[in-house]
Amino acid sequence: MSHNTWTHGMVRPLVRPLASSIVTPNHITTLRFATALIAFGLLAFGNGQWNDWAAASFLLSFFLDRADGELARQSGKSSPWGHRYDLVTDALSNILIFLGIGIGLRDSQLGNWAIALGLLAGCAIVAMLWLMTRVESLGGMGAASYSATGGFDPDDAMAMIPFAIWFNGEMPILILASIGAPAFFLGACWKFRRYLAPS
């Protein structure tokens, strides 16, 4: 993904004071995962009031995801392990949000299919993690990046989820994710197909 989007620009000045502090990118990554866990737990209740708090927690988690990378670049505290840790927590956080939405919608007209759709979207994200890890292991750190278009990259779509929740759009966003995440994975396989060829 790109490191020069509007969301990166928003957090850049906020993390600048932390560059010379004892705070590390891994601290922020851990906090990012914790807020995603909170969002998952609140969403699993499937209650409107809890969902509002879940959306706020996930929006914070989204921007913390931007902040850890920005801090790594500004402070020079980046490392291969930290980069891998960031990728894993990103994938797990995104899985949790979709699974939480699915569990929360289990009593809707989707029934248990809601959980299945959440798992489908989540599994596609795990597949993306595997692909990004493979591409970067063969092509070097940053080889799996996408160029930002108009200040946006594909990962910025995750910022729409909290707003969808606030406007009671959990079901449409879950259905879209269950279609879009696998489709994006297939598109990424095509984009990085040279890294998938047998060596």
Average pLDDT for residues 35-45, to the nearest whole number? 95
Residue located via tokens 């940053």 = 142
Q: Which of 38, 100, 41, 46 is nearest to 64 (CA)?
A: 38
Q: Is the Cβ–Cβ distance between 93 and 33 less than 8 Å?
A: yes
pTM of the model: 0.86
pLDDT digits (tens, 9 = 90+) for 126-181: 898 888 888 888 877 666 666 656 566 667 788 899 999 999 999 999 999 999 99
- Biggest alpha carbon–alpha carbon distance for the chain: 52
Q: In the predicted model, is pLDDT for residue 112 greater than 60?
A: yes
Q: What mean pLDDT value characterizes the chain?
A: 88
Q: Is the Cβ–Cβ distance between 136 and 143 less than 8 Å?
A: yes
Taken in order of first residue, the domains within the chain and their CATH numbers are 6-196 (1.20.120.1760)
Per-residue model confidence (pLDDT) at position 137 = 80
Q: In the predicted model, is pLDDT for residue 1 greater than 60?
A: no
Cα-Cα end-to-end distance for the chain:
25
Q: Is the Cβ–Cβ distance between 131 and 1 less than 8 Å?
A: no
Q: Which residue has the higher pLDDT, 90 or 35?
A: 35
Ordered alpha helix ranges (H), 76-169: 80-104, 113-139, 160-166
Per-residue model confidence (pLDDT) at position 151 = 61
pLDDT digits (tens, 9 = 90+) for 174-199: 999 999 999 999 998 998 888 887 65
pLDDT digits (tens, 9 = 90+) for 93-102: 989 999 999 9
Residue 97 CB contacts under 8 Å (≥ 6 apart), including other chains = 36, 39, 40, 43, 58, 158, 161
In the chain, the percentage of residues whose pLDDT exceeds 70 is: 90
pLDDT band at 3 (very low <50, low <70, confident <90, very high): low
Burial of residue 68 (number of CB atoms within 10 Å: 0-12, 13-18, 19+): buried
Q: Is the Cβ–Cβ distance between 79 and 190 less than 8 Å?
A: no
Residue located via tokens 């922020």 = 28
